[in-house]
A and B are shown apart, each in its own frame.
Chain A
């Protein structure tokens, strides 16, 4: 036995080496290419892209024979944009709001007209802002005006640090604006009363969900629709979703990062990766993860899980650049609400 051990090991080594040689020789012949993509995304997409990437790789393998592996980086939308600007080699970005991709465009990494390159403002899925309340809805929260009652505590994230919370702020503001017939002073009073009822302003959307579900803070969570569905999927019968009368059409966009795909020679693959998001099969994966599909047929099939809402878009506020400046920059409406 003692004598055999080294021999066995040597044989194993030899075998291993020859196997490696065989695969190295065979590779160029069998596989056309082995390529990787990096998708830099925001926080709540983790589960969706895990499923989509596997489906995309399978599809590429059957269609072109290429081995594709997609790496995903998740984080706060703004922080992810900053990472790309500072040199993170993202072939594609799939972020929470257009403003963050605009920032990457401003840094010169992709063309400023990126939003026009793919259908529907380069947004394959949409979402919206809804309320998550405790089971049985003990505070009888039905619509936006209920949130500013004295006996209601709201949990939401800080719009200054969270992209999702910016959608929430605009949903609240926009609903009040519509209710008052376009009176922006009244809308501002509304958001002031709204944030007076917020006892905890979490830095990110996931943190706000945790404060509401795990820490038992507040009566209502104002959050992404898919985040609310996820909380219900995990928390069982402890919560229910309340859809307000009107809310914002949240459009988390996607884009190919020109400078990086050109230097890495991955443009074709990156473009295919994003275009494929619009196919019925992919739209269905998104819908299963509670993103509202753009494809009308898929939307019809999943209509049961998305309550019908009156949705207004970011264009109500003149697009993201204008909205950011007016509401969230220093001294903007959000700062005025807090008197800072």
Chain B
């Protein structure tokens, strides 16, 4: 984005040529066709089927599901925990990305590989590991319990699990952008008299903000839908620590497919709104700099 000014004259020069060129990669039409087909088969069709199931309830039925105290309670727990977890991921993910890109220390590559661990680990395994660690008789939980801090089997446990699964999203979306930001830029800023804080807040931060937002949004959306790691560390009590995905499983156990689909559709809408809001925010943030 910050390189836009340097490449600004290029598009006009390329434009006529682009019309005749078949494209850099061969088989554009075929690959687009295959991608669209795969996308509809894997994403659009199942989503449509779910919304279709939910629609069988009608608007009144949807409202009845959405307005029940347990559903509202679960949405509150899921939303607050996912939001706090995504914020934490944004702060620490940025920090981790920064350390990994800008510093050299022994074991950096190992640390870099470890960031992906939450991606690779089955989430239920993560949940069992976390609850072993944070249970009142666990390593960390045993230290925290005398201080009156209870993590496992409380809402705090859900927050910890969601932070765990969300962290790599932020690190992996910020890292490449940070890598592309050349050190010359902060050197130039410093030469022009900016102090470290100014360099960060005026030069570096605006450049990585879009990717940070994207990472935040992904961590948040993931947190909303996370099931495996949470059910092991949460106490799963209705109105207290019950998450939305657990309610979906609850409905399915009662063979209430439409009810489950209704809650799923609500989650889908919510995630979509969050992603849309963040995209709009990113746009707003970029507009003044373009002009």
Interface residues of A (CB under 8 A from B): 76, 78-79, 81-82, 103, 158, 160-161, 198-203, 207, 211, 214-217, 324, 328-330, 335, 338-340
Contact = CB atoms under 8 A, between A and B. Distances in A.
Contacts of A161: 246, 249-250, 253
A232 B253 CA distance: 29
B22 to A, nearest CB: 44
B255 A103 contact: yes
A216 B138 CA distance: 9
Contacts of B18: none
Nearest to A159: B253
30 contacts: A78-B252, A81-B255, A82-B252, A103-B255, A158-B236, A158-B250, A160-B250, A160-B253, A161-B253, A198-B237, A200-B236, A202-B231, A215-B131, A215-B132, A215-B135, A215-B137, A215-B138, A216-B137, A217-B136, A324-B254, A328-B254, A329-B254, A330-B68, A330-B256, A335-B70, A338-B238, A339-B238, A339-B239, A340-B70, A340-B239
Given A215-B132, A216-B135, A330-B68, A200 B153 contact: yes
B130 to A, nearest CB: 11
B260 to A, nearest CB: 10
Residue from B137, B237, B254, B256 whose CB has the most chain A CB atoms within 10 Å = B254
Which size bracket describes the interface of B in this complex? 20 to 34
B69 interface: yes
Please provide the 6 A-B residue pairs with the shortest distance between their CB atoms, ordered closest to farther. A340-B70, A216-B137, A215-B135, A338-B238, A78-B253, A200-B235
Contacts of A330: 68, 254, 256, 259
Nearest to B253: A78
A214 B236 contact: no
Contacts of B131: 215
A324 B152 CA distance: 31
Contacts of B253: 76, 78-79, 160-161
A207 B255 contact: no
A101 to B, nearest CB: 12
B73 interface: yes
Contacts of A158: 236, 250
Given A217-B135, A340-B73, A199 B153 contact: yes
Contacts of B135: 214-217
Contact of B236 (A103, A201, A335): A201
Interface string B107-134: 0000000000000000000000001100
B75 to A, nearest CB: 13
A83 to B, nearest CB: 11
Nearest to A162: B253
A338 B250 CA distance: 15
Contacts of B256: 330
Nearest to A328: B254
A interface: dominant SS: loop
B216 interface: no
A160 B69 CA distance: 16
Contacts of A211: 153
A160 B231 CA distance: 14
B232 interface: yes
A198 B246 CA distance: 18
A201 B132 CA distance: 16
Contacts of B236: 158, 200-203
A199 B235 contact: yes
Interface string B131-152: 1100111100000000000001
A20 to B, nearest CB: 39
Nearest to B131: A215
Nearest to A340: B70
Contact of A207 (B138, B232, B237, B250): B232
B153 A217 contact: yes
A201 B68 CA distance: 20
Given A201-B236, A207-B231, 6 more contacts: A215-B132, A338-B237, A338-B238, A338-B239, A339-B69, A340-B73
Given A203-B231, A335-B70, A215 B152 contact: yes
A158 B235 CA distance: 10
Interface string B242-264: 00001001101111100100000
Contacts of A198: 237
Nearest to B256: A330
Interface string B69-86: 110010000000000000
A81 B137 CA distance: 36
A88 B232 CA distance: 27
Nearest to B231: A203
Contacts of B231: 202-203, 207
Contacts of B235: 199-201
A87 to B, nearest CB: 14
A202 B250 CA distance: 12
Nearest to A85: B255
Interface in B212-236: 231-232, 235-236
A340 B138 contact: no
Contacts of A202: 231, 236
